[in-house]
Structure 1
Amino acid sequence: MNESKQDKLILLVEPDPVVASRLEDLFRGEGWVVEVRHDARRARQFLQNNKPHLVVLEPLLPDEHGLALVSELRKHPKWGFVPTLVLSEDLDPEARLRALKAGALDYMTKPYEREELLFRVRNLLQLAGGTTGADRSSRLSPEEKLLAGLLELGVRQLTPGVSRVSRYGYTVEEAFRLLDDAQPGEELDLLDELADRGKVNRQFYDVVHLCPKCGWHDLNFREVCPACESPNIKVQRMYRHVTCGYVGPRSAFSEAGRRCPRCGREVEPESLVSAGVRFHCNQCHNSFAEPIVVCRCLNCGELSDVDAVETRVIWTYQLRPAEEAEKPHKRVVEPSTLRPLLRGEAAVLSEHEILDKLEQALNEAIEKRQELSLIQIVIEGLGRLRVRVGEDKLRRLLVAAVSRLFRVLRATDSLGYYGASGFLLVLPATSLSEAKVIAERALVYLRQVLPGLFISIRLAGFPQDGRSVDELLEMLEVGIETVNAS
């Protein structure tokens, strides 16, 4: 059943009070509810808490051009299916095309013919009535539907909570309640999709380990004997007899009557020096330098090697205002081919997030008069490696590479995707000479897990190489300071 006319709400955005009054009377005469606003700012304020069935708009508004508002409505997940009729004094044929490109569904010029205007409004209201509720939601992707629901609820901050029933061990209740037929944890994947598209901001919260067999978070790590895999091991402190060099636990000297088991001489306290520790298995009596670490999944019961265990970063999320979410970054960012392989596996910032971090770090360096260094890592030959080893193994190699990169970073440093197949490291309060040492260490780690690939590392520093984000990134592209290896 169609909605009654009294249920139809029209937002009229018209700067001329006389024209607005005439249009309001015309629409109310048809039984429609009309709200009048005379500029874009007040129209936005109305839209924050209301959802009209139709927007009738004059583009020449006093505070901004109305087509900017039309474009914003079209892109917004909450208002995207509200039709817009542009009613303009502009007789230029190009004006109609500009309005339609901005997202308007219809265009009329003033002076208007009364019956034609009402006919067009009825058609648009009928269209709005057919795209509400479930029909409208079905056109949204799952992540867009989630974002629209959160915006409608007025949620701005999302913090994960511990959950035993989520595969990641965390869930965001406000987001999960908005999903249909979803498993706990799926809302985190959708929020990450929104973060990758710049719709929400995120900050690091935690890292969880996932079983490579079933993908569950509940893993039990333990050290075992490398010979019999028994966890029944103990640590023994070892001592070296300085006279003959014999190494053993203190008990070996005690059992020999305080004499060295090798040379037979009496052992004085000053003749024994520490020689580190060794491990002893109480089951097979094997002695070894290091135990091996295995993990058992408490969900599926499978034992896995630690190197095969996957990681998942847990974030907190902040929803951006609509006008900020639609604002593009000032630099054109080349999409990374690494992110689809690594997404959800490591705490690597997206292309936009790492540039935001760089801007924040640069502002802080300028304010505190500190140095700042950048390291760009470019990896070439990934396509050939993918063909040779397959996508799954390539993904594991890249995860291992990123894990090793984090070994050289401090808590204040940031790592993000940059370029088609590379990373950008932002190192606050770090000189270029210090950054070069870090870069060389990173290169050693990368060559261990990515053999046969060409890896180049470029460096740039503030203030010597530039005093703005653009200048520093351009210096990286020039590649004056480099560390290369193949």
Structure 2
Amino acid sequence: MPKSMHVIWWDNKLGPSVGRSYPEEIVLTTEEAVVIFMGHGANMESEIGYTKLKRGLVVSYLDSPICIAVVIKDDEDTAIIERNLMRLVPHLNFNTEDWETEIRRAYNTLNELIQETTGDELLTNPNVKTLITDLIEGRIEKIRPKSILKSIIRYPEASNYLGNDEEEVARMLEDLEKEGVLQRKTYGRVISCRQCGGHEVEFKLLCPKCESEKLHNVYNIYCPECSKQTHVVIVDELSEVICTACRDPVKVSELSVIDVESLCNECGAASADPKIVFFCALCEKRLKITDLLGGTGLAYEPTPEFTPEEK
């Protein structure tokens, strides 16, 4: 059970404001609130923050300008607190006018979630029991990760048992690994920003010559009027284009596209192979090859020593 839970606010002009706490007698100072906010990054870009205070380690969740801070005991597992804090977030009313009641309810709910996802309680979940049994009996070889561009790591086999909330499925697998039911093994690579640890990725197409972002698509089309191939630039609002061969207007909906390449508005270079550059969606850092290949995917298998009868 964590020591305490607190709600704090950030104002760009006034700085931090300390709100309600539970238990009520444990109150944060303004200086501690500043340190907690800094744990979310210089620009407060990180959703989860870790802060070391004299009173203990703090795990916090930021939904700017509101931050929920949990002070934990020395012997508590920070990963368990973080996973269950994320489970708690959908149940929080960030628009409440009664934070005294809300923070007390949140503290009690967090403790209930911790109990439900650790120890014997975890394996009372019938879906979890079925998943583990099928793993042990070989109906599932292993729970493999599947990364998508949005950078949510999916575990399709586990989702068939535990539901479609991919983040909750990943947290449940971590709970089972913590309890010694499953073991993790490396499986492939995932994208991981070395600056902020984020997994969400955005990409841009750049001119391969000057790296400008100002590109137009040039289409190699077949003209239905003169039966010749020609090149046209089609922007979103165009409904028809002029064939450069016969000079007749042709409806965009009637065009047959043969090929497409990019044309740079800055240097005029045309290319069928524009440069693809990836950026971290959280901190906007341009990702390098070490970011793209540096992360390790994790698959889950049953722990050899575990049998369902143990619990």
Q: Which TM-score tier does this pair reach, normalised by the shorter chain?
A: 0.3 to 0.5
Q: Which has the higher contact order (CA 8 A, sep 6+)?
A: 2
Structure with more of its chain in helix, by fraction: 1
If the length of structure 1 is used for normalisation, what is the TM-score? 0.23
Bigger Rg, which one: 1
If the length of structure 2 is used for normalisation, what is the TM-score? 0.33
